[in-house]
Amino acid sequence: MEEALRIKALPPYLFARIDEKVSAARAKGVDVISLGIGDPDMPTPDYIIERLTQAARNPANHRYPSYVGMLQFRQAVADWYKQRSKVELDPKKEVVTLIGSKEGIAHIAFCYINPGDIALIPDPGYPVYGIGTMLAGGVPYKMPLKAENGFLPDLDSVPEDVARKAKLMFLNYPNNPTSAIADEEFYLKAIAFAKKYDIILCHDAAYSEIAFEGYKPPSFLSLPGAKEVGIEFHSMSKTYNMTGWRVGWAAGNSRVVEALGRIKSNIDSGVFQAVQEAAMAGLASPPAFVEEICKTYQKRRDIVIDGLNALGWNLPKTKATIYVWPQVPRGYTSASFAEAVLDKAGVVVTPGNGYGEYGEGYFRISLTVGTERLQEALKRMQQSLGKFEF
């Protein structure tokens, strides 16, 4: 049976390909240190698990969940925004529960993209922005994220005819994979741009809570005009060590939230309510929990950045996210460096070009293993790859 055109053009997901390489190396007996996917190694807190087990025993939760999510969960999201960023949200109209933010990011294109329509996507960027657009028949227009611009897109360089054809624009700060941050001035500019061209701004805020040394990433939704033009995707995954639980949300513009909920109600049947109850326990976590998580990543960041700088890199300290985004040494491409590091050091890093053509020349390290393994990874890189030149 021949595959449909849309899937013929679809590559395997970046991390599915990397998983295959890791499994092959492990099958050969290599003690692989995986700094690839951003999948927190720390466990989900006990109080969240407790809440799940209690909620799983409630027969009311064994039936179909509400399509757009339990009102109590959406209320908990609204409360979280109010407390965190003084953002007022109507839980009934301005929040929709997602099976992880990835799901909503992929489906939003189906709400607004007609064949041939454009979505503006950051490059390098989370692959799902472009894939969702293509599956909906749209055309991703890449906005390069360059070091000289602080890895922010230059909105003034988007051609007028492209901006006019664009229906969606994806932004993501703190940024995966570059770990760059955005200030309020940038968001205001993006909001004005979206308003001018009638574009829905989709802000992916999956990493907004992982920040260091007192830095608090501004909330896109707290800025004037944000709710008129866009929504924010958020996730329990990275902040609460819940990647496996698949629960997140989109919040903001009520018409966009309704459209996303409508498409979802026709495709999926919502998030298991016991998981939503557990996520409510997560959102009510004491601030000390997230502070501790940030301290752990900060310590790991220091080991990696100080370690790479001792090997010849010249990296500034990142302010947020669980990633480090160094350039590859001279003589390597992103792919050849990632391959050499795996083959010679047994260390998995993500090649920068996996996030788009403007990621070429970089690789990404995920800080999702403990300090000893990070030190071991750096030691192995030095011992097996020799001196790095830039």
Q: Which residues bind ligand MLT (CB under 6 A)?
A: 15, 37-38, 102, 176
| Strand, coil or helix: 40 | coil
- Nearer of residues 172 and 273 to ligand MLT, judged by Cβ: 172
State the angle between helix axes of 273-283 and 71-85 in degrees (0 to 180), rounded to the nearest 10: 20
- Of residues 127 and 370, the one with the C-beta less far from ligand MLT: 127
Q: Residue 56 or 369: which CB sits closer to ligand MLT? A: 369
CB of 176 to ligand MLT, least distance (A): 5
Report residue 137: phi and psi, to 5°. 90, 5
Q: Which residue's CB atom is positioned nearest to ligand MLT?
A: 38
| Minimum distance of ligand MLT from residue 92's CB (angstroms) | 29
Rounded to a whole number of angstroms, the minimum distance from the CB of residue 158 to ligand MLT is: 24
Residue 358 vs residues 38, 80, 177, 323: alpha-carbon distances, Å:
20, 35, 11, 17
- Which C-beta is closer to ligand MLT: that of 102 or that of 167? 102
**From CA 142, how far away is CA 74, in angstroms rounded?**
33
Helix residue ranges, H only, the chain: 5-8, 14-27, 46-56, 71-85, 101-112, 127-135, 160-165, 184-197, 226-229, 254-267, 273-283, 287-310, 334-345, 371-385
Q: Which residues pair with 211 in a beta bridge?
A: 320
| Residue closer to ligand MLT (CB basis): 128 or 303 | 128
At closest approach, how far in Å is the CB of 366 from ligand MLT? 6
Which residues are within 8 A (CB) of 357 and not within 5 positions of it... i.e. 6 or more apart? 123, 142
User: Quick one: which of 304, 316, 300 has its CA closest to 210?
Assistant: 300
Kindly state the smallest distance separating residue 102's Cβ from ligand MLT, in Å.
6
Pick 37 or 223: Cβ nearer ligand MLT:
37
Closest CB to ligand MLT among residues 38, 174: 38
In angstroms, the CA 267 to CA 261 distance is 10
Do 301 and 367 form a contact (C-beta atoms < 8 A)?
A: yes
> Which one-letter amino acid corresponds to residue 128?
V
Q: What is the chain's alpha carbon radius of gyration, rounded to the nearest angstrom?
A: 21
Q: Which is nearer to ligand MLT, 15 or 212 (CB)?
A: 15
Output the smallest distance, CB 15 to ligand MLT, in A: 6
What is the nearest approach in angstroms of ligand MLT to the Cβ of residue 215?
A: 21
At closest approach, how far in Å is the CB of 170 from ligand MLT? 14
Question: Distance (Å, rounded) from C-alpha 301 to C-alpha 137?
Answer: 39
In the complex, least distance from residue 388 CB atom to ligand MLT, rounded to whole angstroms = 24
The one-character DSSP state at 320 is: B
What spatial distance separates the first Cα and last Cα of the chain, rounded to whole Å? 49
Q: Tokens standing for 197? A: 């061209």
Nearer to ligand MLT, 44 or 273 (CB): 44
